[in-house]
Amino acid sequence: MSYIHKGFWQCMDNVRERELLEKMLKKTDPDGNHRFYTDPSAAINDLGKPVEVAFLDVEMPGMDGIELAKRINERYPLCNIIFLTGYPEYALTAFDIHASGYIVKPFSQKKLEDALAHLRYRTPGLPDKPVRVQCFGTFEVFVNGEPVKFPRQKCKELFAFLVDRRGAMCDMDTLIGNIEPEAAADKSEKSKMRVYLSDLTTAFEKLGIEGLVVRNTGTVGVNVNMLDCDYYRYLDNDPFAVSKYTGEYMSQFDFAKETRAFLEIKYMKSQ
């Protein structure tokens, strides 16, 4: 089950148990928008909508609940996964992927409500930040769960640099020095950088995202309030983001070496 906008999202292949769970969840949240599935493939196809809490069985045809949980977490890292299953032996595996709960059948109203009272990620609702940014490992950007296709590789690198700067406004010399470090910051390079910025802004506007790239006279930055970013969450000591950091940060970009060094020091001090 997954909870979105006061709703539950649930995937179990046993129809009788699914119907029983549906009644219990509607009793817990009578006004919610609840989504229920018996087929994991159908659940995957509906992952374009945010998921806050998901009840999953472990053994299902086609795809087991552990794999489905991983697929959900790829798109929505702060989703609370609660396994509801007849297989107690999978509990350690479930908690290895940071599940919020593990209920062994037969389930009851009390067990469900207790699990919901002890969620790992306690948010009143999913953040309304439309753009998800992955900095740990390779740099990637997602809108509504789908990867952004940048018109040029340099546009992607430019956006990564602005994310790395965490909202600080940068002038053209700074951009060129980091994105094109071997080029002179002359009129030609500045003109090229303006083209990258224009293409970047247009790419997000086509996805319905406006105001993400902020431009003032001669400077540019990013609106961090529109970003759900693992790096920013890590700096705020979010437990999930901390668990996801394994020593890699924007690994494809040379300009990120200073932040990588900072994160390594921060990580070593926390051990």
pLDDT digits (tens, 9 = 90+) for 91-128: 888 878 888 889 888 888 888 888 877 777 655 444 45
Q: Give yes or no: residues 43 and 94 share one domain.
A: yes
Which structure tokens are listed for 84?
Answer: 């509801």
pLDDT category, 130, cuts 50, 70, 90?
Answer: confident
Q: State the DSSP string of 153-202.
A: HHHHHHHHHHHHTTT--EEHHHHHHHHSTTS--SHHHHHHHHHHHHHHHH
For residue 159, pLDDT beyond 60: yes
Q: Give yes or no: residues 113 and 139 share one domain.
A: no
The residue segments making up the domain with residue 188 are 131-270
Residue 80, φ and ψ in degrees, nearest 5 = -85, 115
pLDDT value at residue 242: 83
Q: Give yes or no: residues 79 and 210 share one domain.
A: no
Q: Is residue 61 part of a domain?
A: yes
Q: Give yes or no: residues 39 and 153 share one domain.
A: no
pLDDT in tens, 21-30: 888 887 877 6
pLDDT category, 48, cuts 50, 70, 90?
Answer: low
Is residue 77 within 8 Å of residue 230, measured between CB atoms? yes
Our count of domains for the chain comes to 2
Q: Is residue 159 part of a domain?
A: yes
Spatial distance between the Cα atoms of 101 and 247, rounded to a whole number of angstroms: 28
Q: Give yes or no: residues 243 and 136 share one domain.
A: yes
Q: Is residue 123 part of a domain?
A: no
Domain boundary among 117, 139, 171: 117
Q: Give yes or no: residues 86 and 187 share one domain.
A: no
Quick one: what percent of the chain has pLDDT higher than 90?
Answer: 41
Q: Give yes or no: residues 41 and 150 share one domain.
A: no
Q: Give yes or no: residues 257 and 213 share one domain.
A: yes
